[in-house]
Amino acid sequence: MVGSMNFGMSSPYIEAFSIAKGAAAKVFSVIDRVSPINSLSEDGNRPGKMDGNICFRDVHFEYPTRSDVKVLQGLNLDINRGETVALVGSSGCGKSTCIQLIQRFYDPRQGMVMIDGNNVKELNISWLRKHIGVVGQEPVLFNTTIAENIGYGADGATESDIQEAAKEANAHDFISKLPQGYNTLVGERGAQLSGGQKQRIAIARALVRKPVILLLDEATSALDATSESKVQQALDKVSKGRTTVIVAHRLSTIRTADKIVVISNGKVVEQGTHMDLLGLRGHYHALVNAQQLNAIDEIENKNEDKSEGKVQRLGRMTRTSTGSDFSIHEDERPTVIEDIEEHQPPPVSMMRILKKNMPEWPFILIGSLGSIVMGFAMPIFGVLFGDILGVMARPDDQEVRDGTDEYSLYFVIAGVAVGIATFLQIYTYGVAGEKLTMRLRGELFESMVQQEVAWFDKKSNNSGSLCARLSGDAASVQGATGQRVGIVLQSIATIGLGVALALYYEWRLGLVTLCFTPVILVAQYLFLKSSRGETFSNQQALEKSSKIAVEAVGNIRTVASLGREQTFHELYMLELLPAHKVALRNTHIRGLVFGLARSIMFFAYSTTMYYGGQLMVEDGIPFETILKVGQTLMMGTMSIANAIGFAPNFQKGIAAASHIFHLLDRKPQIYDPPQVSERNWTPEGNVKYQQVEFFYPSRPSISVLQGLNVDVLDGQTVALVGQSGCGKSTCIQLLERFYDPVSGSVCIDEHDVSSVTMHSLRLQLGIVSQEPVLFDRTIAENIAYGDIGRTVPMSEIIEAAKKANIHNFITTLPLGYDTRLGEKGTQLSGGQKQRVAIARALIRNPRVLLLDEATSALDTESEKVVQEALDKAKVGRTCIIIAHRLSTIQDADVIFVMNHGQVAEMGTHSELLSKHGLYYKLCSMQSGPR
């Protein structure tokens, strides 16, 4: 009977086995999977050296997730050692795919890719990638220091190696100006740096390994004119002596290449030098004409003869001067990120958690009643057990039969009651707990997305930590609610009734046995105290390790190209180690406390029987009374031991709840003004920046805007130009009200953006950023996300796609507009992603269109058509353009040249050129508008 009782007591723990089995299925499916391309494998050839001869032989390829779409269709290409070869062609033709095949991210379905005559499939993957330097179109940096980011490029890179690579990439000067220099943290995905800064650090990371093969996938697309010129010179210099493969949309950057290869429909259609291909008057000639490489503005033509020497002189000045108004050594935003100290949030009371569960009060009430009935069952069982033994000791056989029949019926009734109570307890508390978890997850995510952008800049609020809180904390709260509360309530009922019955039947015996209770309570208190520290340590370890895992998996292509899989694995394990040590230490404490709780009932039982025997001899107390007192108190101590078994889960639940409520209670620093209606606010589109001063909250010592004044009239197209980090993108973020200015005002139609609701403000703004962010949904859903206030009809989605020059491509996909894009839109090329993002911006028909390098990722053909579409889209609305490529903003109504957080010059393209000022210097660095 005791054995079966213990089996019943173990039933709550069985839940842990089922949860573990469900989780293990996913874990082991990943662990047991054998990768066909294993970068950590020691298999494969490791030749003595790599020369750098690359050969594609009849390569056919399609991505595994889109097996119906042929990317390469019999590609044949030879790249000789030391050559600089450029791959050009329309977006999606397979240029970047070639780069990925050289690194062996994928294997071709047919044909082979060879390096120095060796099939890359036969080479050791780690050895192969160590000899290849890669700079991608969207540079990925990791949330660590600049020095470590560059050092990831080569094992054992010294400080001098890192600085030398930074100098080659034109990054050393701006890094040296930062307060912490090379030890400056760059933020998640390099968010604290401008696009140009990130790209140059990525170039330095590729150069530090001194690669034999250098792969440049639009390596200068994110740079401003000044930086591009110097970085291009650096790339030209470091390309010498090594095989260089360049993927380029801007043909001006590859005119000096040894060989230019034009790819169309997955095949090589033309190859040769720039002049050879121009002479063919084929595909390349058409691309060149589309970009008008040789077109020079009329005003420049007029002034060319007069000022040719002056332009060259100005070019030299801007390349060497450090004291001019427009120094190319960028006074860029230093990236001093506050190291936010992570405090343990204040504990929350159990009542607050239960209040959050109040909508389920009928379930909790029924479950609590069931728990109390279960708690009463054990002491009542002790009483019945003592009574039936007393009946069996009677001398009259008939009385024994009648008494045992009666008490057996009581046992049956008690069994039925306990069975029903157990079902109600587990079912109702389970439902209430799951509903609470669902509610907390929803409120937690809602609270996260309502926080201001500056909150996400903090190191402790990176995506990995927030994901850990969403997935782990909300689920852990069930440890302090649900069935665990039922067990605790059951234990309280048991010990309460047990003590009451013991004192009722024989108060002296009850008091003696009760002396053992404080020992258990003190042990429980000490255990909970140590368990709270362990829970907080585990929470921090989970957040930090999740951050590393999310960062590594989210940027796996960069991690793989750098050969840093093992490095991130070690960092992940390192973050888990401190919590692991604390858990090992506390396991011993938990074992001692749990052992004491389990064994104390035997000591209590021994004392009860010893003292009870004395009372029987001296006072003539019936032995069944002694048994009743012993049984009820024994059941009480067993219940406390069972409650202690759930203490770790209970403590984790309390700690998780404190994290959740700490965030739920936080008020965003940027919020809607009180009592403002969002209805009927349709601005005309006049934008005004008045005496705006601003610094980023995480870098209060660095002023980004210093008294900025900009007026944009309704329907005007205005361009903001200037060096990287001068505050162009900051202007857009202030207009979107991601941040509030320190002083001054940002207005639309004389309305300060802080005086209207953020929803109504942002509904009037359409934005296309330099690095487009798409979601893992269908193409149609991604475009429709541009206007979530209504159900967007398919006809409007198609119309927006046509305007963005993406409709024809979408219709070639097997699933058309229902094609899923994968995480961050990885199933599309850079140009395709950008065009979907443009369509998404156009779908809401915004009053103000914001273009932050909107065409930087497009190939020549797409750029021309999209530019025409944007020109049409700009009609009748205000448009603010941020541009490094001055050719895209020549037709702007007003061009504002920004320098050191202020407007240095303003005017039309021709007016600014005639001034021969800062804008003219920018144009000279680009060798005339392209």
CATH classification of the domain holding 906: 3.40.50.300
pLDDT above 70: residue 663: yes
Single residue among 603, 636, 663 that ends a domain in this structure: 663
785, 784, 859: which is closest to 829 by C-alpha?
A: 859
285 and 191 assigned to the same domain: yes
For residue 170, what are the CA distances in angstroms to 196, 222, 599, 804, 840? 10, 14, 71, 35, 36
pLDDT given at position 417? 92
- Higher pLDDT: 791 or 554? It is 791
85, 104 Cβ separation under 8 angstroms: no
Residue 930 in domain: no
- Higher pLDDT: 336 or 71? It is 71
Confidence label for 789 from pLDDT (cuts 50, 70 and 90) = confident
Q: How many Cα atoms within 13 Å fall on the side-chain side of residue 228? A: 25
Q: Which residues contact 375 (CB under 8 A, 6 or more apart)?
A: 489, 490, 491, 492, 493, 494, 496, 497, 639
pLDDT given at position 578? 81
pLDDT given at position 313? 30
- Residue 145 φ then ψ, to 5°: -75, 165
pLDDT given at position 413? 92
Single residue among 610, 635, 663 that ends a domain in this structure: 663
Give the mean model confidence (pLDDT) for residues 355-362: 85
Q: pLDDT tens, 776-785?
A: 888 999 899 8
Least confident of 82-86, 157-161, 280-284, 588-592: 588-592
pLDDT given at position 299? 33
Confidence label for 361 from pLDDT (cuts 50, 70 and 90) = confident
Burial of residue 572 (CB within 10 Å: 0-12, 13-18, 19+) is middle
Confidence label for 536 from pLDDT (cuts 50, 70 and 90) = low
236 and 99 assigned to the same domain: yes
Give the mean model confidence (pLDDT) for residues 620-648: 71
641 and 788 assigned to the same domain: no
Separation of alpha carbons 23 and 801, rounded Å? 42
Residue type, 119: N
Confidence label for 537 from pLDDT (cuts 50, 70 and 90) = low
Residue 289 in domain: yes
Beta bridge partners of 712: 687
655 and 718 assigned to the same domain: no
Least confident of 77-86, 126-135, 682-691, 827-836: 827-836
Separation of alpha carbons 509 and 163, rounded Å? 81
630 and 724 assigned to the same domain: no
pLDDT given at position 56? 92
Q: Which residue, chain included where needed, has tokens 């995510």?
A: 445
pLDDT given at position 113? 92
Residue 2 in domain: no
842 and 768 assigned to the same domain: yes
Residue 47 in domain: no
Give the mean model confidence (pLDDT) for residues 258-267: 88
Separation of alpha carbons 92 and 536, rounded Å? 48
586 and 708 assigned to the same domain: no
pLDDT given at position 24? 92
612 and 722 assigned to the same domain: no
Residue 695 in domain: no
Give the mean model confidence (pLDDT) for residues 18-25: 88
Confidence label for 514 from pLDDT (cuts 50, 70 and 90) = confident
Residue 585 in domain: yes
Q: How many Cα atoms within 13 Å fall on the side-chain side of residue 646? A: 30
Confidence label for 491 from pLDDT (cuts 50, 70 and 90) = confident
The fraction of the chain above a pLDDT of 90, given in percent, is 5
503 and 408 assigned to the same domain: yes
Confidence label for 339 from pLDDT (cuts 50, 70 and 90) = very low
pLDDT given at position 644? 59
Confidence label for 420 from pLDDT (cuts 50, 70 and 90) = very high
Residue 462 in domain: yes
Least confident of 42-56, 94-108, 198-212, 575-589: 575-589
Q: How many domains does the chain have?
A: 3
For residue 503, what are the CA distances in angstroms to 506, 626, 721? 5, 12, 87
pLDDT above 90: residue 28: yes
pLDDT above 80: residue 359: yes
348 and 312 assigned to the same domain: no
For residue 600, what are the CA distances in angstroms to 449, 513, 593, 603? 51, 11, 10, 5
Question: What kind and span of H or E run contains 690?
Answer: strand 687-694
Separation of alpha carbons 266 and 93, rounded Å? 6
pLDDT above 50: residue 926: yes
| Mean pLDDT for the chain overall | 79
Give the mean model confidence (pLDDT) for residues 827-856: 81
Cα angle 429, 434, 435; round to 5: 100
pLDDT given at position 180? 81
For residue 98, what are the CA distances in angstroms to 71, 77, 107, 213, 260? 10, 10, 11, 13, 14
Structure tokens at 536: 């907080």
Give the mean model confidence (pLDDT) for residues 629-646: 67
Q: pLDDT tens, 296-337?
A: 333 334 343 333 333 333 232 222 222 323 232 333 333 333
Confidence label for 201 from pLDDT (cuts 50, 70 and 90) = confident
The parent domain of residue 113 ranges over 54-320
465 and 524 assigned to the same domain: yes
490 and 562 assigned to the same domain: yes
Single residue among 305, 320, 335 that ends a domain in this structure: 320
839, 769 Cβ separation under 8 angstroms: no
Structure tokens at 569: 């694995």
- Higher pLDDT: 227 or 262? It is 262
Lateral strand order in the sheet of 259-264: 132-135, 213-217, 243-247, 84-88, 259-264, 267-272
pLDDT above 90: residue 576: no
Give the mean model confidence (pLDDT) for residues 654-659: 79
pLDDT given at position 304? 39
Residue 473 in domain: yes
Strand intervals (E) in 20-143: 54-61, 72-79, 84-88, 110-115, 118-119, 132-135
